[in-house]
Amino acid sequence: DSLAYVIFTSGSTGRPKGVEVAHRGMASLARWHARAFEVAHGDRAAQTAGLSFDACGWELWPYLAAGASVHIVDEETRLSPTCLRDWIINSELTHCFLTTPLAEQIIMLDWPRDVALRVLLTGAERLRVWPPPALPFKLFNNYGVTECTVVSTSGVVERGESDATTPHVGRPVDNTEIYILDRHGNPSPVGVAGELHIGGCGLARGYARQAALTAERFVPNPFSREPGARLYRTGDWARYLPGGEIELTGTRDGRVKLRGHRVETGEVEAVLARQAAVSECVVIAGQDARGETRLVAYVVHAGGRLDVSELRDALRETLPEYMIPSAFVSLNELPLTPNGKVDRRALPAPDWRRLETREAPLAPRDERERRLADIWAEVLGLEEVGVRDNFFDLGGHSLLAVRLLARIEEAFGVRLPLASLFQGATVERQAALVARPRRARPTSSLVSMHAGGAGVPFFFAHPVGGTTLCYYALAKRLGGDRPVYGFQATEANETKASLEEVAAVYVEELIEARAEGPYLLGGWSAGGVIAFEMARQLQRRGRRVALVALIDTRSPLVAAETPGRADDDAAFLKRLAEEYALWRGKPLQLPLDALRGLDADAQLDYVLRRLQEAGLLPPGEEAADPARWRAIVNSHRKTARMVAGYVPRRVEGGLTLLRASESPRGRAAACVAGASAGGDATKRLVPADDALGWDEFTSSPVSVHFVPGDHFSMMTEPHVGVVAERLTACIKQTGVE
Q: What pLDDT, on a 0 to 100 scale, did the predictor assign at position 228? A: 92
Q: What pLDDT, on a 0 to 100 scale, did the predictor assign at position 323? A: 79
**Mean per-residue pLDDT over the chain, rounded:** 81
The answer to whether 646 touches 639, Cβ cutoff 8 Å, is: no
Compute the distance between CA of residue 281 and CA of residue 100 in angstroms, rounded to an integer.
Answer: 12
Q: What pLDDT, on a 0 to 100 scale, did the predictor assign at position 230? A: 97
374 pLDDT above the threshold of 80 = yes
Q: What pLDDT, on a 0 to 100 scale, did the predictor assign at position 532? A: 94
How do residues 457-502 score in pLDDT, each as one tens digit?
999 999 887 778 788 778 878 877 788 888 888 766 666 778 899 9
549 pLDDT above the threshold of 90 = yes
Burial of 201 (0-12, 13-18, 19+ CB in 10 A): middle
Cα 169 versus chain centre, distance: 20
Q: What pLDDT, on a 0 to 100 scale, did the predictor assign at position 439? A: 52
Radius of gyration of the chain from Cα atoms?
28
Q: What pLDDT, on a 0 to 100 scale, did the predictor assign at position 438? A: 58
Rounded-to-5 percentages of helix, strand, coil across the chain: 35, 20, 45
How do residues 659-673 score in pLDDT, each as one tens digit?
988 765 443 323 222
How do residues 435-447 score in pLDDT, each as one tens digit?
876 554 555 688 8
How do residues 491-527 score in pLDDT, each as one tens digit?
666 667 788 999 999 999 898 888 888 999 999 998 9
Q: What pLDDT, on a 0 to 100 scale, did the predictor assign at position 623? A: 46
Burial of 293 (0-12, 13-18, 19+ CB in 10 A): middle
Q: What pLDDT, on a 0 to 100 scale, did the predictor assign at position 261? A: 46
Compute the distance between CA of residue 103 and CA of residue 273 in angstroms, rounded to an integer.
Answer: 14
How do residues 117-151 score in pLDDT, each as one tens digit?
999 999 987 787 889 999 999 999 999 999 999 99
Measured CA distances, 667 to 290, 688, 729 (Å): 34, 20, 28
17 pLDDT above the threshold of 80 = yes
2 pLDDT above the threshold of 50 = yes
Q: What pLDDT, on a 0 to 100 scale, did the predictor assign at position 530? A: 94
Compute the distance between CA of residue 366 and CA of residue 359 in angstroms, rounded to an integer.
Answer: 21
Q: What pLDDT, on a 0 to 100 scale, did the predictor assign at position 680? A: 36
Compute the distance between CA of residue 683 and CA of residue 672 in angstroms, rounded to an integer.
Answer: 8
How many residues are there in the chain? 737
Lowest mean pLDDT among 30-44, 232-246, 265-279: 265-279
How do residues 36-81 score in pLDDT, each as one tens digit?
999 999 999 999 987 778 899 999 999 999 999 999 998 778 878 8
Compute the distance between CA of residue 140 and CA of residue 595 in angstroms, rounded to an integer.
Answer: 61
Neighbours of 80 (CB within 10 A): 14
254 pLDDT above the threshold of 90 = no
**Please, which pLDDT band fits residue 397 given cuts at 50, 70 and 90?**
low
Q: What pLDDT, on a 0 to 100 scale, did the predictor assign at position 356? A: 39
Q: What pLDDT, on a 0 to 100 scale, did the predictor assign at position 676? A: 26
**Please, which pLDDT band fits residue 163 given cuts at 50, 70 and 90?**
low
| SS3 state of residue 13 | coil
Residue 313 or residue 321, greater confidence: 313
Q: What pLDDT, on a 0 to 100 scale, did the predictor assign at position 315? A: 86
The answer to whether 426 touches 391, Cβ cutoff 8 Å, is: yes
Measured CA distances, 491 to 260, 524, 633 (Å): 30, 22, 16
Q: What pLDDT, on a 0 to 100 scale, did the predictor assign at position 401? A: 74
Measured CA distances, 21 to 26, 175, 433, 567 (Å): 8, 15, 66, 63
Task: For residue 5, give the nearest of 59, 70, 52, 72 by alpha carbon.
Answer: 52
